[in-house]
């Protein structure tokens, strides 16, 4: 399952449509080779989540995603018991009669009633790719839980026992840096900051992911997007928005970007009313200059 080199990473991920530079290919190669989690930070829309998807596709591994949010706890990431099925099982035992209470209680925590949440699923299904997305949205306690799991690749379930991954999963954590992560978690990981791609690389990405878009339109769209990223928007457009905008214009049969078509499709590019107003003013300046 391993990559042979950083160049091999870049080549094989490129075959899935994910284009990475040398630095990202190298840290990805090292993280997989050293079996260390890879922590990716960067602005939204810079391809952090897409890297996990591309690795899973390239290595033909299941991708298991844990979406973090405020208030998430270890139970929601790890496991739960199928309470309705446990009740049905208990009623069936009662109906059959002559049930030993201790044995009945023990049977309630059989594996068939265990609901594996993403972290436990990744440990049991390994080799797999575990994506811990937007870990900066979770709180400190959840970080500590993750650190413990990522240190041993095992979890203990009081009623069931210890589950250990036979092969450590490939783990990628993403953060939009809404808050600083603790040093302990960072030390456990290899780290990489993903910037928005430069002009030529983003053109290459659009060519790879949306080949139906003409070369001329592709360059126009990417040039405008790159300029808009410096326009003090609440949420600057990422690569995903670039692709959406290019595809939207192509669907409308636009061969060359003009003010009318650009203004009509601005909803594919930005998601805030204030940003849309700023973009319309910027487009007027950019496309009529």
3-state secondary structure (DSSP) of residue 164? strand
Q: Specify the pLDDT at position 44.
A: 85
Least confident of 6-10, 119-123, 198-202, 284-288: 284-288
Q: What band does 62 get if pLDDT is binned at 50, 70 and 90? A: very high
Q: Specify the pLDDT at position 288.
A: 67
Q: Specify the pLDDT at position 178.
A: 85
Average confidence (pLDDT) over 100-126: 86
pLDDT higher than 60, residue 1: no
Q: Specify the pLDDT at position 14.
A: 92
Least confident of 82-91, 97-106, 195-204, 232-241: 97-106
Whole-structure pTM value:
0.83
pLDDT higher than 70, residue 103: yes
Longest dimension (CA), the chain: 87
The proportion of the chain whose per-residue pLDDT surpasses 90, expressed as a percent, equals 53
pLDDT digits (tens, 9 = 90+) for 234-286: 889 999 999 999 999 999 999 888 888 998 999 999 999 999 988 888 888 87
Q: Identify which has the larger pLDDT, 284 or 18.
A: 18
Q: What is the mean pLDDT of the chain?
A: 90
Q: Specify the pLDDT at position 98.
A: 65
């Amino acid at each position: 399952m391993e990559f042979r080199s950083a160049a091999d990473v870049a080549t094989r991920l490129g075959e899935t449509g994910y284009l990475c530079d040398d630095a990202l290919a190298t840290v990805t190669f090292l993280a997989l080779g050293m079996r260390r989690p890879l922590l990716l930070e960067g602005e939204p829309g810079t391809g952090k989540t897409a890297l996990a998807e591309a690795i899973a596709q390239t290595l033909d591994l299941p991708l298991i995603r844990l979406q973090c949010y405020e208030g998430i706890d270890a139970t929601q990431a790890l496991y739960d018991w199928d309470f309705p099925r446990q009740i049905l099982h208990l009623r069936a035992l009662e109906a059959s009669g002559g049930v030993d209470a201790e044995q009945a209680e023990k049977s309630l925590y059989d594996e068939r009633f265990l609901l594996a949440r993403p972290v436990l699923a990744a440990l049991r299904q390994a080799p797999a790719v575990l994506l811990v997305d937007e870990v900066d949205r979770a709180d400190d306690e959840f970080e500590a839980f993750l650190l413990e799991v990522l240190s041993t690749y095992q979890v203990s379930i009081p009623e069931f026992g210890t589950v250990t991954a036979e092969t450590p999963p490939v783990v990628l954590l993403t953060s939009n840096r809404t808050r600083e992560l603790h040093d302990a978690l960072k030390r456990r990981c290899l780290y990489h900051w993903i910037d928005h791609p430069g002009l030529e690389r983003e053109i290459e990405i659009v060519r790879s992911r949306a080949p139906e878009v003409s070369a001329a339109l592709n360059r126009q769209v990417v040039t405008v997007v790159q300029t808009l990223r410096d326009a003090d928007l609440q949420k600057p457009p990422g690569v995903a928005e670039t692709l959406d905008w290019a595809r939207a214009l192509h669907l409308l049969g636009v061969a060359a970007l003009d003010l009318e078509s650009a203004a009509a499709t601005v909803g594919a590019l930005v998601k805030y009313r204030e940003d849309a107003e700023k973009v319309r003013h910027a487009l007027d300046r950019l496309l009529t200059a």
